[in-house]
Amino acid sequence: MGKVIVVTSGKGGVGKTTSTANLGTALALIGKTVVVIDADVGLRNLDVVMGLESRIVYTSMDVIENRCELSRALVKDKRVEGLMLLAASQKNNKDDIQPEQMKAICTELRATHDFVLVDSPAGIESGFRNAAAGAEEALVITTPDVSAIRDADRITGLLQHEGVEPINLVLNRLSPEMVRKGNMVSQSDVVGLLNLKLIGVVPEDREVIASTNRGIPLVHNKNSPGAQAYMRIAKRLTGQRIPIPELREKGFFSNILDWFSGNK
């Protein structure tokens, strides 16, 4: 019996879709069977971030309206064995799906897969409620800015109210340099403010944009700091105990090395 985990945030644009694509890929790379579900009906994006947009034939709406079996609606990933995507319909809107219907899909999928990750839309309305309906656990994504942290706390309250447990925190786009200069709240500040267990910190990484441009999730680029952060989170999700270090700035020396290896 697998786990259903909703990836959510409250505030938009903080990295839910990026995190779902990368954690799904990372879990599959370490041998787990994974389905990632795009629950952002009407504004789907997970397909393009994973580079699967040209392969989509059916969506969750087709499954709900009985036009297609669930197993046939799953799109196989191009690169990793054991990873599948269930796309969202672009022609419908968030209210066209009921929480019960999402729950039924999640229940069916968890019977045959190790992990089901649900990419939630922004907001606290019906789209979020649908995404969370079938989930027993949650990953709350936040960036280190005031409004994202505030909304993360709000969404945490709603998830707790629904009995979702555990709720783990992913701190995305942290810049150690800005923290040092006093222009960004730190990892320990965020943990102190939110009543959540931190499961990982993903640095600000320009490779994220390049990988989205190509439709190849960052974790395939094993040298990037963002990829390594996502791999560690995936391992923690499988129960491995890996300590979470405070992110450090790159030293002068590693910057020079990057420069010579064309990593800049």
Partner 1 sequence: MNLRRLFGRQPKSSSVARERLRLVISQDRFDVDEESMRRLQAELMQVLSKHFDFHVDEVRMSLKQRGNSYVLTADFPNVNANKQA
Residue 248 tokens, joined = 């450090």
**Cα gap 53→218, rounded to integer Å:** 17
Of the candidates 55, 150, 220, 236, which one interacts with partner 1 according to CB under 8 A? Answer: 150
Measured from the Cβ of residue 128, the count of other Cβ atoms closer than 10 Å reads 22
Residues of span 105-134 touching ligand ATP by CB under 6 A: 121-122
Under rule CB under 6 A, residue 202 binds ligand ATP: yes
Residues of span 52-111 touching ligand ATP by CB under 6 A: none
Q: What is the DSSP string of 19-87?
A: HHHHHHHHHHHTT--EEEEE--TTS--HHHHTT-GGG----HHHHHTTSS-HHHHPEEPSSSTTEEEEP
Is 36 within 8 Å of 73 (Cβ atoms)?
no
Whether the upstream peptide bond of residue 243 has omega within 30° of 0, thus cis, is no
* Nearest-approach distance from CB 244 to partner 1, in angstroms: 20
For ligand ATP, the closer of residues 65 and 246 by Cβ is 246
For ligand ATP, the closer of residues 14 and 105 by Cβ is 14
CA angle 222, 230, 48 (to 5 degrees): 85
Of the candidates 60, 85, 205, 216, which one interacts with ligand ATP according to CB under 6 A? Answer: 205
**One-letter amino acid identity for 121?**
P
* For the chain, the helix, strand and coil percentages under 3-state DSSP, each to the nearest 5: 45, 15, 40
**Binder of residue 173, out of partner 1, Mg ion, ligand ATP, none (CB less than 5 to 8 A by kind):** ligand ATP
For partner 1, the closer of residues 40 and 204 by Cβ is 204
Is 21 within 8 Å of 69 (Cβ atoms)?
no
Instruction: Give kind and range of the element (H or E) at residue 4.
Output: strand 3-8
Residues of span 165-194 touching ligand ATP by CB under 6 A: 172-173
> If DSSP codes are grouped into helix, strand and coil, which group holds residue 228?
helix
For ligand ATP, the closer of residues 2 and 123 by Cβ is 123
Scanning 61-69, 132-140, 200-208, 230-238 for contacts with ligand ATP by CB under 6 A, the matching segment is 200-208
Residues of span 6-45 touching Mg ion by CB under 5 A: 16-17
For partner 1, the closer of residues 31 and 157 by Cβ is 157
For partner 1, the closer of residues 27 and 149 by Cβ is 149
Sites of contact with ligand ATP (CB under 6 A): 9, 12-18, 40, 45, 121-122, 172-173, 202, 204-205, 208-209, 212, 226
Sites of contact with partner 1 (CB under 8 A): 145-146, 149-150, 153-154, 157, 179, 181-186, 189, 193-194
Sites of contact with Mg ion (CB under 5 A): 16-17
